Amino acid sequence: MISVKKVDNRPLNLLERLYLPEIARGLLVTTRHFFVNLFNPKGMPTVQYPEKTIPLPHAARTRTRHRLKVRADGSPKCVACFMCQTACPAYCIRIEAAEYPDNSVEKYPAVFDIDLSRCVMCGMCVEACPEDAIAMDTLEIPGGALTRSEMLMTREDLLRNLPGEAPSVLGASNRLANEYLKSKGEQ
């Protein structure tokens, strides 16, 4: 909604043009803030991240640190199609594809790195993923590291399901994988 603010552009009166009373008023405001915050530091909105965290407010929950989903059989849901790497505006994703030795139908990511120091948290990788393999729903905020290597998420850091989450068995590659696994079990 567009709101209209009406500005009162009246000429300054004598007291205001003297400047000093207005300075005193301004000083009063800042001094009040100073003393209130000095004696009641808990009242400030600052959170001492990363030592302390707070529950994220509504909209902030939609894009948090990435994870790669895991199938029911423990393999990554990702098929190394490079869609997220292509979509990423910050070039922070690096994928190296590999093939299962006994499944010539689909690939898997041998390397899946996300450099969180470059990530802009735009969520375009999630939008681009055809397999629903990458998600940004861990409710963790990246950051607060002292070195760049601490900000580099490798495949092992990323691969996990959320607690209580039923691993997906849907999707083309899942079906193929399940069929493959089933056939392997029948033999």
Partner 1 sequence: MTATLLAHKDLLLFIGAAALKVLVFLNGVMGFTALLTLAERKVSALMQDRVGPNRASIFGLALNGLFHPVADGIKMLVKEDFVPGRADKLLFALAPFFALVPVMALFALIPFGDYVMVFGYRLDLVIAQVPLGVFLVLALSGLAIYGVFLGGWASGNNFTLLGALRGAAQMVSYEVVLGLTLVGLMMIYGTAGLQDLVRAQGKLLFGFVPAWGIVVQPLGFVLFLTAAIAENKRTPFDLVEGESEIIGYFMEYSSMRFAAFMFSEFVEIILVSMLSATLFFGGWQVPYLYDTGFVLPGGAALPLNHYLVAALQVASFSAKTVFFSWFLLVVRWTLPRFRFDQLMTLCWKRLLPLALFNILLTGAALLALGKL
Binders of partner 1 among 43-62, rule CB under 8 A?
A: 44-46, 48
Residue 94 CB-density burial (10 A; 0-12 exposed, 13-18 middle, 19+ buried): middle
Span interacting with partner 1, options 34-42, 53-61, 130-138, 163-171, rule CB under 8 A: 34-42
Q: Alpha helices, DSSP H only, in 40-171?
A: 83-87, 124-128, 155-158
Residue 71 and residue 167 in contact, taking contact as beta carbons nearer than 8 Å: yes
C-alpha–C-alpha distance, residues 158 and 115, integer Å: 11
Closest to partner 1 by CB, 45 vs 74, is: 45
Closest to partner 1 by CB, 7 vs 29, is: 29
C-alpha–C-alpha distance, residues 96 and 109, integer Å: 6
Q: What character string, x for contact with partner 1 (CB under 8 A) and - otherwise, covers 11-30?
A: ---------x--x--xx-xx
- Does 101 help bind partner 1 (rule: CB under 8 A)? no
Closest to partner 1 by CB, 27 vs 172, is: 27
